[in-house]
Chain A
Amino acid sequence: MDAKLVNPFVDALKTVLPQMGFPEPERKAIGVKAKTASSLGVSVIVGFTKSIRGNVVYNMSEDTAKFIASTMMMGMPVDEFNDMAQSAISEMSNMLTANAATNLAGMGFEVDISTPSMTIGENFQIKISDDQYLTVGMDIGGHELEIDIAVSTQ
């Protein structure tokens, strides 16, 4: 797993989020983990394929999801993680991954991305790799967004 593959995703976050009115995201922890990630409550998986194949997961708590949705909707209060808020998170995941795809193309990796799949629940596990995946913790105005990236070797 090549650690430089984290950059297109982190850069996407730093480009896209401030345009939507978020404070500048800060990169916190970065690491390599094996096989399975634990969901924080709301996890959006976006797959990609073509010259490299893999998955990215945007993993966050429901509180963080509500904060992000509220900021995206111009500060409208979001008390419940309802359809509209879910739609905002899904849209953000799509925008971030599309932007990352452009960054990957700049590194010589052309990819097509799938539609986002949002999964909601308590205590579930997500496996995106048979081997290892990269994980980055981002801080957005005091809220944590975890990004897990796996590139398949086959």
Chain B
Amino acid sequence: MEKVKVMIVDDSRVSATMLQDILSKTNFEVCAVARTAAEALELYKRNRPAVVTMDMNLPDANGIVCSAKIHEEDPKANIVMISAMKDASLITQGREAGISAFLQKPVSTNELLDTLMLLTQERVGKLALLRDSYVKSFMRAMQDSLKDLAGLASTAQIEVSNSNYIEVDGVSVILGLTGKPMGRAVVYMDMDMARRFTAAMLHSELADISEEEANDSVEEASNIIVGRGVSIINDIFKDREMRITPPGTICGQHIRIVNMKLTSFTVTARTEAGTVYMNIGFAEEK
């Protein structure tokens, strides 16, 4: 089961630790703790948590102002206010700032978990569906292809990508996915791995592999990996008619590929030659 990321905003270490203790035994994972409103906004952007717990009194702003700012950054943000006081005016102002639920300190374990579950259910349900139905097929295609093409055994894992972009160095191959769901796949690796992978595929010495040859071979391999993934999916779901668009290959250092409005997952496959990554992003269903 995927861990669900929670960010705690609380300037009191006692309260923050209490919440962390409760969540540590669950499927929720505390990805960040912010002590001020400014820190909260910064950490929200960086971590994109599924849900935020918000204290009312922060050193630089109150929790309602801070929630409004987070909501401005991400209108879909899930925020739970946990405050010492809870009255009608706080709830009215809080709702306007985009706060979804209100709990009173000290918060009981069950109450907290029920609220967090309720708020994140839709997202967790959607992620589980995408991961189990689609991303696992792409992971299988990647592991089988690494073995067939280059004789590389791998251990692989899937993670939900919470960042707005992926940062890549080396070779990245972008393949669009059309049909249902729409999206795109990016297979990427650093240049050293690209050359080692190519040498293994071509049964050649590493020294004989030029950068251009490595780019072309990685492109071809990526096309095969993603194509196989789509075939597995089309075999399982007869009505999807997923197709891939031709590869676009990006080569360079410190490049950001932006996950614009995509729900995306990163598959990491570790082999003895190095690591191959694949990011699969799905567009929101319209």
Binding site for B on A (CB under 8 A): 39, 45-50, 53-55, 57, 83, 86-87, 90, 112-128, 150, 152
**A124 contacts B261, CB within 8 Å?**
no
Q: What are 28 pairs between A and B in contact, CB < 8 Å?
A: A47-B176, A47-B246, A47-B248, A49-B243, A49-B245, A50-B178, A55-B176, A83-B164, A87-B260, A87-B261, A112-B179, A113-B176, A113-B178, A114-B178, A115-B182, A115-B183, A115-B262, A118-B258, A119-B256, A120-B257, A121-B252, A121-B253, A121-B255, A121-B256, A122-B254, A124-B250, A124-B251, A127-B248
**Leading 4 A-B pairs by shortest Cβ distance:** A114-B176, A47-B245, A124-B252, A47-B176
**B246 contacts A114, CB within 8 Å?**
no
**A126 contacts B262, CB within 8 Å?**
no
Q: Which of B177, B184, B246, B257: most chain A CB closer than 10 A?
A: B246
- Return chain A residues, CB-CB under 8 Å to B258: 86, 90, 117-120
Report which of A45, A121, A122 forms a contact with B248, defined as CB distance below 8 A.
Answer: A45
Residue of B at shortest CB range from A152?
A: B246
- Return chain B residues, CB-CB under 8 Å to A45: 174, 176, 248
- Return chain B residues, CB-CB under 8 Å to A39: 252
Q: How far is the CA of A29 from the CA of B149 in the complex (A)?
A: 42
**B256 contacts A125, CB within 8 Å?**
no
**B164 contacts A48, CB within 8 Å?**
no
Q: A118-B260, A120-B255 are in contact. Are A50 and B174 (CB under 8 A)?
A: no
**A114 contacts B256, CB within 8 Å?**
no
**A112 contacts B164, CB within 8 Å?**
no
| Nearest chain B CB to A21 CB, angstrom units | 22
Q: Mark B171-194, 1 if CB is under 8 A from A, else 0.
A: 000111111001110100000000
| Nearest chain B CB to A40 CB, angstrom units | 13
**A114 contacts B177, CB within 8 Å?**
yes
Residue of A at shortest CB range from B249?
A: A127
B94 at the interface (CB under 8 A from A): no
Report which of A47, A57, A87, A118 forms a contact with B257, defined as CB distance below 8 A.
Answer: A118
Report which of B175, B186, B252, B281 forms a contact with A123, defined as CB distance below 8 A.
Answer: B252
**A117 contacts B255, CB within 8 Å?**
no
- Given known contacts A86-B258, A118-B257, A121-B252, what 8 new A-B pairs fall within 8 Å (CB)? A47-B245, A48-B176, A49-B176, A49-B178, A112-B179, A115-B176, A124-B252, A128-B246
Q: A83-B164, A87-B260, A120-B258 are in contact. Are A57 and B248 (CB under 8 A)?
A: yes
Q: How far is the CA of A74 from the CA of B184 in the complex (A)?
A: 30
Report which of A47, A54, A83 forms a contact with B175, defined as CB distance below 8 A.
Answer: A47
B219 at the interface (CB under 8 A from A): yes
Q: How far is the CA of A122 from the CA of B183 in the complex (A)?
A: 25
- Return chain B residues, CB-CB under 8 Å to A114: 176-178, 182-184, 245
| Nearest chain B CB to A81 CB, angstrom units | 10
- Return chain B residues, CB-CB under 8 Å to A125: 250-252
B215 at the interface (CB under 8 A from A): yes
**B255 contacts A124, CB within 8 Å?**
yes
- Return chain B residues, CB-CB under 8 Å to A124: 250-253, 255
- Return chain B residues, CB-CB under 8 Å to A117: 174, 176, 184, 186, 248, 257-258
| Nearest chain B CB to A78 CB, angstrom units | 16
**A127 contacts B174, CB within 8 Å?**
no
| Nearest chain A CB to B65 CB, angstrom units | 21
Q: Mark B206-246, 1 if CB is under 8 A from A, else 0.
A: 00000000010001000000000000000000000001111
Q: How far is the CA of A126 from the CA of B257 in the complex (A)?
A: 13
| Nearest chain B CB to A118 CB, angstrom units | 4
Residue of B at shortest CB range from A38?
A: B252
**A55 contacts B184, CB within 8 Å?**
no
B31 at the interface (CB under 8 A from A): no
Q: How far is the CA of A83 from the CA of B258 in the complex (A)?
A: 9
Q: How far is the CA of A86 from the CA of B256 in the complex (A)?
A: 12
Q: Which of A55, A114, A118, A152: most chain B CB closer than 10 A?
A: A114
